[in-house]
Structure 1
Amino acid sequence: MAARYDLSIEVVSSGNVETVEMDYLSDPDSDLDEWVPLDTHGGRGDSGQPCIQIMDECPTNEADGFTLTVMRSHPIRRSRAAVLSQYLDSSQCRRPMSTIFSHRSTIRSRRPSHPAETHQELSDEARQRKELVKNLKSVSKRDGVCMIRGLPLSVDEKRHLRREVYLDEEGPSSYIALHCSWLRFALSGARRVHVSTLWRGTLKRVGAHFGTGVLSYFLFVRTLLLYDSIMALLVGLFVVLPQATQGPELPPARQSFIGLELLTGEGYFTNSLMYYGYYTNTSLRKACLFHCQEAEELGYSIPLAYHFIIIISFFFTCVMLVYSLSKSLGKSLQSEGGLTVWFFGSWDFKVTKKSSILLKQASILTQLKERISERMAQNKRGGWMVRVWQLVVCGLVWIICLSSTGICVLGIYLYVKYIHLKKVKNVLGLPFLVSIVNLVLPGLFRATSRAERYQSPSTHAYVAILRHLLLKSSILSVLSFHWMTDDHRRLGQECWETYIGQELYRHVVTDLVMTLLHTLCGEFLWSWCVDGVRRRDQRPVFDIARNVLDLIYGQTLAWAGVLFSPLLPAVQILKLLLLFYIKKASLLLNHRPSHQPWRANRMSTVFTTLLCFPAFTGVAGCVAYTMWTVKPSLTCGPFRSLPTMFSLEREWEELKDAHYSLAWLSVVYTHLLKKPIFLYIIATLLLLVIYINKQRNDGQKRLISLLKKQIRNEGEDTKFLISKLKTLHQEHHE
């Protein structure tokens, strides 16, 4: 926002001084520290002509002052001593330091011609510096810092001068505070290097050409990557890495790697850090370099670390989800102003690169189309016959979608019960069946939805998301029932946790394989055929609902598998990275922007809500049920021979004996974590936070709508008064 300043102009020429006072509108982003020499015609002049400089005064009150000084520039040589002398005189007069500045070329100290002159200048500089330090100490610290800041010296010299002035009277704390300020600056810079800078250029390009709806998908991929990275980091540092340094108690016979393990998760990966059964139920021991009978224990218990890291990783993920949901709710309800305000105030004048300018123009054009399309959709109102017909068509489409979903889910259940449990070697049958259903049914949903003809594209997107959500939730419910029951024990699995981990790994990998096949063989092949007949308008539009629900489905599997396969979040990270680049290439090469662009201002909120409540809460409930009630395997894993995964009393006693300072963790575990009421309290508090934020945002939204209505009423009142004044004026002249 521009600010008004009073400027004083002094014109010094031929002994005549003219002072002109004027108002100046300044933009805080503009650079005013610039010399502009003027000639007699108002252009740039050479030496001997007046030159002008605008400098920012150090503020002495709430309003910043600016002084415009115009002086005749002449080629005289100025040393550092002269500069210090000038500012010494100004400091003695208690004037602001930035009143008169020299040209940058004259600020630099010139090399003198004779050695005697050099010695004289050095002595003058030292004397002037001492006097300047003395005068700076005599004023207040605020004025002194302001005066030092205005000196035409380098940052290093200003820093040394400030230490020389204030180090003696404040002691070492000033020096420490100065270094702490640099530390704070470094930390603030490190905070800016965040995941938000990842794929920044790609996201700008996608948003500029395809709109905010498609952009929300790629932003969601980046958010999931952050969640998986934090979970993988916690599990890797505190569970996987300690176990890797220790090794299993009895090294199993490892099978040779043939490559099929990447798809099935069996064979070479079975007895590895990938799965639950590899981890021991003992504490870490010091490495034995020579032949020794017994190694000394370090007191780091693998069962306690495994137990706590799973809980902490889920807790951190829950906190991040609640924070993201509250933040996205606030952003979705913010007012962006009217169409006219956005149109005339959307350009960024800092953009100078040609490619950035073109990208910004495309972004503004796309967002204008979205807003205009939204306004047009709101104004379209059909008759009652059209609405009745649309309701009938929508009802038929919903019947087709729900019936097809029910038939496919029933088929998956029958396959699990009668085929999958009897054919042990057919480990890829169930994952590929589920992936085929997830691939075929969304195409059926999209084909039948064309008959609905919703006026608003956003309504069409939300309905599609709901249908895909019902399909994914039904499939995950059947799979969860299969994994949580005792069906896996009929297969003779000694370590059922490893079996479930392998199942989840296969579902994650097959989902990635089928997505890549659909993208490479489906979308690229269709695009090649369309380009061959020169019908680029027949390219498909990016299906946001389908791709986003695929991401939520895969993320649900990754969260569910972290208990049985600690490295599954790392596999999910690789999957998300590959999906991002494949989907980006497919979007730019095989898809076209929608003919009905729509503004997805609340799409990120919907995605985060679906990720939080149906996905994360369901997974957290299943994991909590498994850890509290299901009996672990007797021969494998860190919780072998225990009634439940929470029965760790012996490990807590060993921890207190080894590290007495950590005894308070046993109290926390016994009185808080071991009781389900504690989790209910935490869940209630998090839901309360979400509810409060939603109510606050709703109140702000109502207030904004009331203020907009008030502005419209005031505009109508102004028009009414102007019309009355015109009428009175005409009557007066008549």
Structure 2
Amino acid sequence: MKSSYGGSKQGFLDERADDSQPLREYAISIQQKRKIREIQNAQTKRTTGWVQWKENWKSCRKLADDTKELLYTMQLWRKDIRSIEGTKSRANSSGKFGSGVQSYFMFLRFLVLLNFVMFVLMFGFVTLPIAISRNTVFNSSHVVSYASDIAPECTKYKAAIEGLGYFHKYIFDLLSGTGFLEWTYLFYGYYTVEAINFKDHRYNIPLAYLLVTFAYLILSLLWIVKRSVEGFKQSLVSDEDRFQSYCNKIFAGWDFCITDESTAALKHNSLQYELKTDLEEERIRQKIAERTRAETCRIYLLRIFLNFIVVTVLAISFYCIYRTSIFSQEFGKQTFPGADMLNLVVEYLPSIVITIANFITPIIFKIIVNFEDYTPAFEIRCTLMRCVFVRLANIGVLLITLWTRITYCVFGICSLCGYNHDTYPCWESRVGQEMYKLMIFDFIIISAVTIFVEFPRKLLVQHCSFKPLQWWGLQTFEIPQNVLEIVYGQTICWIGTFYCPLLPAIATVKYFIIFYIKKIGLMKNCIPSPKPFRASSSNFFFLLVLLIGLILACIPVGTGIAYMRSSKACGPFVAFNTSWDIIGYTVNRMPPGLQKIFNGITSEAFAVPFFVLICLILFYFIALAGAHKRVVMQLRKQLALEGRDKLFLIRKLAELQTSMSKMPTTQSSTFDLKTNQTLQYLHPQKLQADVHV
């Protein structure tokens, strides 16, 4: 009896030791609490090494999951974006906008976060240290050119800073980036600091400026690629057999964890929209399959002719931008006192022409693509690629024209400084001003179109019975055009951040406001599009277009860093021939061992084998993906064959049942034997099919 009591007492102590409840809450003696504490300490000592590491790893994973869940609940505009998919239009309550429009607003949210991170990088590592050094006791050394052969004419730069004359003058300066804004933290020319000395540490501003530029470009690339891979996976999952897609949506598409009525309505609308998209694509695919050879030839000839028209429109657009850019720069050399409005219009003339081209060409392309008889998904992609080429090429024409004027030399004027220092004493700030004007003007146009075009159109169509207005009808939310607007603005931001360091802050505020402008315009003025399209492929394609914009933005930025002569009158790189020279200067000041490592990494002996290795790895993954694709196709064929076997056996079973109903009773035992054999054969086939699925 005593041993039984002792065993139960020991079990009680072991049970309390495993409990997480504090010991002070137990009504037991001090001696028992001490024994429980000893047991807990012994257990802690036993969980060392591998077991302890696994427990710590589980805790870290749980913490990461909890953090991810918390960030998801705190996600910007989460409820607003979820509500857009199933929201009915107030202009026409008969339809819903669907997941395609929702994907646009998710894309806009991504750009807001990206620009905010870019602003934090540039502000934290470049702007803030200079601002602190100029307003505190820290010592900051201003740049003095190391080269002794620089002509004094190259170092003359005086920003057009004037006193307060008229209020409208400040408005003009705010819109054009000149005047009082030219000599602020907004533009490149203001960052004339070589280094900041924090006690015993020296902060190299030119190196930080260049490294932050590389950092935001690389970060943008990695972030876009990461999201593109996720979208590509979704598109691969959705790229399946059409019959299988219908079955999955109808029989397995519902989420039975949904308990909220509004969430259930959103899910119902989402499934309905996806089924409509599948049926529309199937209808067009069937129409294409039923074409005759004559109809196919007619369509291809028509597409060739329409593409010739597209090329002509592009050529006219580029020529107009080129001529207006030259006229604006020639006119800017002259001064007309009292003609502030005229000067502002001429300053904005390239931006105005670019905006007009960006507004007119998508309308022309939309009309053209209606005659080319493409599927809705390919129609959007084709229009998007054409308009992307127009918008990004327009920026390229403007920059080429501007840089041609910067390096254009007459009578040996460039021999002193390596650029046209008379017209552009601080050419980097001039490029930053052009990008700033494009950003501001783009925002003004987007806001003005929503307020002064889309809303009046809705009122006229709803309250006026004029036949042409009724034929014009209520507008739909044009996803390609809206995506192009923000991709165009983001490309401007990538190009201009090097020359206008605070441009990401302007872009963040711009996209934040545009979200609400577009949402209100969507709810108030738009009706759902009659041509549904798949959102999974759209998300991937949006990011692909954005990636193209990033790659094209790296070309002018890289050219300005590596090949263009730095201004000798402003900016952090006046001591160097080009901005890239700061890298060589920094490497030469490193210890000899680090210099050898850096030179070895950047040499051809390392670069060529590294490139070959990357190509081999890429080839391996491409071959692996092809092998996996072939295996998937074989498994699908095997599933189809096993399905036919099942149908054959079920048909035989039905025939046996029919014949049994006509047989005498004495033959029922024979039928039972055949039925059992059939079921025994059918059952393992079913299991095998389930395993393959």
Give TM class, smaller chain.
0.7 to 0.9
CA distance in 2, matches of 1:689, 1:541: 46
Amino acid aligned to 1:440: I
Q: Deviations over 1:319-346 (max 9, x none)?
A: 2233233332222101475312212322
- 1:199 maps onto 2:77 in alignment: yes
Relative to structure 1, the CA distance from residue 223 to residue 277 in structure 2 (aligned partners, 3 Å threshold; closer, same or farther) is same
2:393 is aligned to: 474
Q: Deviations over 1:233-262 (max 9, x none)?
A: 211111111011123859986755823333
5+ residue gaps, structure 1, are 1-88, 94-127, 138-144, 287-295
Q: Deviations over 1:394-422 (max 9, x none)?
A: 33332332212211111111222344333
CA distance in 1, matches of 2:215, 2:426: 25
1:335-350 map, 5 Å: 335=238, 337-350=244-257
Residues matched between the structures, number = 582
SS at match of 2:527: coil
Q: Deviations over 1:481-521 (max 9, x none)?
A: 12433437376121111111111111111111112222222
How many percent identity over aligned positions?
24
Amino acid aligned to 2:650: I
Alignment equivalent of 2:230, drawn from 304, 327, 343 = 327
2:357 is aligned to: 437
Q: CA deviation at 1:191?
A: 3.1
Relative to structure 1, the CA distance from residue 343 to residue 684 in structure 2 (aligned partners, 3 Å threshold; closer, same or farther) is farther
SS at match of 1:494: coil
Q: Deviations over 1:75-95 (max 9, x none)?
A: xxxxxxxxxxxxxx99979xx
Alignment equivalent of 1:719, drawn from 631, 636, 647 = 647
1:637-716 map, 5 Å: 637-648=571-582, 652=586, 670-672=599-601, 699-716=627-644
Amino acid aligned to 2:389: L
Alpha carbons 1:421, 1:487 under 8 Å: kept: no
Amino acid aligned to 2:102: L
CA distance in 1, matches of 2:630, 2:523: 40
CA distance in 2, matches of 1:187, 1:316: 22
Q: CA deviation at 1:699?
A: 4.9
Alpha carbons 1:436, 1:514 under 8 Å: kept: no
CA distance in 2, matches of 1:350, 1:333: 25
* Root-mean-square deviation (Å): 4.0
- 1:232 maps onto 2:119 in alignment: yes
Larger relative contact order (Cα-Cα within 8 Å, sequence gap ≥ 6): 2
Amino acid aligned to 2:543: T
Which range moves more in the overlay, 514-523 or 245-254?
Answer: 245-254
Alignment equivalent of 2:455, drawn from 504, 521, 524 = 524
1:412 is aligned to: 321
Amino acid aligned to 2:299: Q
2:432 is aligned to: 501
CA distance in 2, matches of 1:345, 1:516: 43
Relative to structure 1, the CA distance from residue 134 to residue 646 in structure 2 (aligned partners, 3 Å threshold; closer, same or farther) is same
- 1:352 maps onto 2:226 in alignment: no
Q: Deviations over 1:332-374 (max 9, x none)?
A: 1014753122123222333333322322222222222122222
1:452 is aligned to: 372
Alpha carbons 2:496, 2:503 under 8 Å: kept: yes
1:617-656 map, 5 Å: 617-648=551-582, 652=586
Alpha carbons 1:281, 1:640 under 8 Å: kept: no
Which range moves more in the overlay, 704-713 or 179-188?
Answer: 179-188
- 1:309 maps onto 2:212 in alignment: yes
2:533 is aligned to: 598
CA distance in 1, matches of 2:314, 2:536: 30
Amino acid aligned to 1:132: F
Alignment equivalent of 2:42, drawn from 161, 168, 182 = 168
Alpha carbons 1:634, 1:641 under 8 Å: kept: yes
Alpha carbons 1:91, 1:136 under 8 Å: kept: no
SS at match of 2:196: strand
Amino acid aligned to 1:515: I
Amino acid aligned to 2:556: C
SS at match of 1:586: helix
Amino acid aligned to 2:191: Y
Q: Deviations over 1:368-387 (max 9, x none)?
A: 21222222222223432433
Q: Deviations over 1:89-115 (max 9, x none)?
A: 99979xxxxxxxxxxxxxxxxxxxxxx
1:485 is aligned to: 404
Relative to structure 1, the CA distance from residue 653 to residue 691 in structure 2 (aligned partners, 3 Å threshold; closer, same or farther) is closer
- 1:223 maps onto 2:113 in alignment: no
1:47 is aligned to: none
CA distance in 1, matches of 2:58, 2:642: 49
Amino acid aligned to 2:440: V
Alpha carbons 1:254, 1:268 under 8 Å: kept: yes
Please report the TM-score for the alignment, with normalisation by the length of structure 2: 0.74
Alignment equivalent of 1:512, drawn from 443, 448, 468 = 443
Bigger helix share: 2
1:241 is aligned to: 128
- 1:267 maps onto 2:176 in alignment: no
5+ residue gaps, structure 2, are 27-32, 87-95, 135-139, 144-157, 334-342, 408-419, 664-693
Which range moves more in the overlay, 252-261 or 444-453?
Answer: 252-261
Relative to structure 1, the CA distance from residue 376 to residue 180 in structure 2 (aligned partners, 3 Å threshold; closer, same or farther) is closer
SS at match of 1:516: helix
CA distance in 2, matches of 1:447, 1:514: 22
Amino acid aligned to 2:647: K
Relative to structure 1, the CA distance from residue 407 to residue 491 in structure 2 (aligned partners, 3 Å threshold; closer, same or farther) is farther
1:573-588 map, 5 Å: 573-588=508-523
Please report the TM-score for the alignment, with normalisation by the length of structure 1: 0.70
1:133 is aligned to: 13
Q: Deviations over 1:528-568 (max 9, x none)?
A: 22222486993222212222122222111111112111111
Q: CA deviation at 1:683?
A: 8.5
1:13-28 map, 5 Å: none
2:380 is aligned to: 461
2:295 is aligned to: 386
Alpha carbons 2:350, 2:398 under 8 Å: kept: no
CA distance in 2, matches of 1:692, 1:625: 34
1:540 is aligned to: 475
Q: CA deviation at 1:623?
A: 2.1
Q: CA deviation at 1:729?
A: 5.1
SS at match of 2:535: coil
